[in-house]
Amino acid sequence: METKLLTNDDNSLIEAAELLKAGKVVGIPTETVYGLGANALDVNAVADIFKAKGRPQDNPLIVHIADIKTLETLAFDVPDLAYKCAEAFWPGPLTMILKKRKIIPDVTSGGLDTVGIRMPSNRYARKIIEYSGLPIAAPSANLSGSPSPTTAMHVFNDMNGRIPAIVDGGMSAVGVESTVIAFDNDSIRILRPGFVSREDLLDICKNVIIDKGVLEQLSPDTVVRSPGMKYKHYSPKADVTIIDADTDKFREFIKEKADRDTVCLVFDENDVKGIDIKNINYGKDSKEQARLLFDALRHIDEIGAKKAYARCPEKSGVGLAVYNRLLRAAGFQVIKL
Ligand code: AMP
Ligand code: MG
């Protein structure tokens, strides 16, 4: 199959929507990362997403909508708290886990009786959904296990020959996947951290819990609320280790370890000043790091490094999302100095 790169003019967005209506899988830009979209209600189309990605069948997909009316057609017993969250954060990078209606096939929900729903803010994503008139199931558009794609080229590198088209919407503004939350009585449980942070959610609800799976390694047979959290994820081929240290200690450590096969993921050049080692700058603050992390992870392999040492991001705010992704890329290897 030839993979067509579409631009983001209206004709291209209509072409993408027509492909979705015809049951095809299309790479679409969103503000979080690029998604691999298909009709969420079409069993065969959704099965093709799993095939294109090589994704485990029990890992459910997020369903994307363009207007709030659609929510009640896909989910029931939607709590008031969910409407408050929608009002505060939609359209935007927040996914809510709700009880699913029968119209959502099991293949979309990974066999669960819930469905994750999100209304993206990216204008191309919204237009594609609107033009298709369908709820669109879309996981990140990478091969299962690889870093998520934040540009159309990343998608092309992973999906060339596997899907009919990719819409180029430029670089994803947020850069990490959506915050995934579930509702427990009057509390919110963060199953996956994202750009909408715990601190943001505390403005809506005083009880916001961070699920165990966010920072701990779960064994593959653990029964979890968010199946995606137990899989190997975001991994470059190189061996990644997080170095939890201040600038001086980081630099000392790197000076000792520096060799030609190693690369550092740094906040700025200062972190490796005076040391002869390859480095990739992944941003000074959490928002910039969220935007640049996945490109940096892909870059590690492109430059052929065998080992990577990454400076440890903040563990709060948007930084928690960056830390969560980097932990998985590093297979939970952290050295604290
Ligand atoms: P991705 O499609 O790569 O953005 O990953 C989607 C994430 O949302 C995974 O971590 C899933 O486990 C999670 N997710 C999607 N739907 C549900 C659901 N119904 N219940 C719990 N987690 C979900
Ligand atoms: Mg993913």
The DSSP-derived string for 65-83 is -SSTHHHHHHEES--HHHH
Q: What is the CATH number of the domain that holds 292?
A: 3.40.50.11030
How confident is the model over 287-307, as pLDDT tens digits? 999 999 999 999 999 999 999
CA–CA distances in Å: residue 120 to residues 2, 64, 146, 275: 28, 7, 23, 43
Protein residues within 5 Å, CB atom, of ion ligand 2: 140
Helix pair angle (286-302, 152-159), 10° resolution: 40
Average model confidence (pLDDT) for the chain?
A: 95
Which ligand gives the minimal distance to the CA of 229?
Answer: 1
Residues 246 and 310 in one domain: yes
Same domain? 199 vs 277: no
Summarize pLDDT for 36-85 with one digit per residue, the tens.
999 999 999 999 999 999 988 888 999 999 999 999 999 999 999 999 99
Same domain, 246 and 200: no
In a domain, 26, yes or no: yes
Instruction: Determine the average pLDDT of the residues in 199-223.
Output: 89
- The whole-angstrom separation of Cα 330 and Cα 265 is 12
Same domain, 20 and 161: yes
Ligand 1 atom at shortest distance from the alpha carbon of 177: 4
Task: Identify the helix (H) or strand (E) that includes residue 144.
Answer: none
Closest residue by Cα to atom 17, ligand 1, is: 116
Cα(95) to ligand 1 centroid in Å equals: 9
Question: 305 lies in which domain range?
Answer: 239-336
CA of 178, nearest ligand number: 1
Q: Is residue 57 part of a domain?
A: yes
Residues 246 and 157 in one domain: no
Regarding whether 261 and 192 lie in a shared domain, the answer is: no
Lining residues, ligand 1, CB within 6 Å:
59-62, 97, 109, 112, 114-116, 139-140, 177, 180, 191-192, 225-229
Give 331's contacts (C-beta < 8 A, 6+ positions apart).
232, 235, 240
Nearest atom within ligand 1 for CA of residue 138: 2
What does the DSSP assignment read for 173-232? SS-SPPEEEEEETTEEEEEE--SS-HHHHTTT-S-EEEPGGGTS---TT---SSGGGGS-
Residue 247 belongs to a domain: yes
Is 324 part of a structural domain of the chain? yes
| CB of 284 closer than 8 Å to CB of 267 | yes
Q: What is the mean pLDDT of residues 193-217?
A: 95
Shortest-distance atom of ligand 1 to CA 100:
19
Sign of torsion, CA 76 188 33 160? Answer: negative
How many domains does one find in the chain? 2
Nearest CA to ligand 1 atom 10: 228
Query: Does some domain include residue 222?
Result: no
